Amino acid sequence: MPTDPAKLRIVLYPDPVLRAKAKPIPAITDEVRAVAQRMLQLMHEAPGVGLAAPQVGLNWRLFVASPSTDPNDDMVFINPVLSAPGRELEDYEEGCLSIPQVTGEIRRPKAITVEAIGLDGATFRLTSDELPARVWQHEFDHLEGTLILDRMTPMDRMACERQLKELETDYHGKSKRR
C-alpha cells in the first residue's frame, strides 16, 4: 500500500515501530523521494538535526540529516551502513524527536564513516569526527530499533522516568481510543 507523505507525522515513544529493525529499500522510487522530502520538512519543523523513517512510522532503512540545520545541507541516506568507528569515544548530551523532553549523555565513537545511497541512486561515502558523525550514529540506531534510552547511563535513565511514564500513558490512552 503506497504511503501518503502528507499524512506522515513524528511518532512518539513507546510506539512499537521505534523498536523494529528497518528493512532495506529495494529501489529509489517517486514514493521514496516524496517521503524523504516530507521527513526533511518534519525534521526542520520539529526542529531537529536528523530523522529516521521509523520515527515517521515507516519500517524503511532511510534517514535524513542536517547537522547544521541549514536546509542547503540536507542529506538523505538510503540503506546506510556504518563502518570504521574511531577508537576515541566521546560523551555528548542527545535528545530525540520521538522522545520529547528526554535527554541523556550518550557515549559514541567520535569518528565514523557512513556509506549510503542518495535520492539520485548514487552511492556515496562520508567520514566525520564532528557532529555529523554523532547524528549518523543516532539515526542509524533508529534503523536498528535502538533508542537513546538504551545507551543512557542508569542515572540519566532514572532522571527521565517520569517523562517516559507520561509518554507511555499518553500512547496507551490514544491506542484505546482508536
Q: So what's the pLDDT on residue 174?
A: 78
- For the segment 43-77, what is each residue's pLDDT rounded down to a tens digit? 999 999 999 999 999 999 999 999 998 999 999 99
* Range name among 9-13, 58-62, 164-168, 172-176 with the lowest pLDDT average: 172-176
80-137, pLDDT tens digit by residue? 999 999 999 999 999 999 999 999 999 999 999 999 999 999 999 999 999 999 999 9
Q: What is the pLDDT of residue 1?
A: 65
Full DSSP string of 69-104: --GGG-EEEEEEEEE---S-EEEEEEE-TTSTT-EE
Residue 1 and residue 118: Cα distance in Å, rounded?
23
Total structural domains within the chain: 1
Cβ(86)–Cβ(75) under 8 Å?
A: no
CB 33 within 8 A of CB 4: no
Residue 26: give its domain's CATH number: 3.90.45.10
Task: Choose, from 88, 90, 130, 139, the residue flagged as catalytic.
Answer: 139
In this prediction, residue 176 carries a pLDDT of 63
**pTM (2 d.p.):** 0.95
Domain that holds residue 144: 5-177
What pLDDT shows up at residue 50?
98
- Is 139 part of the annotated catalytic residue set? yes
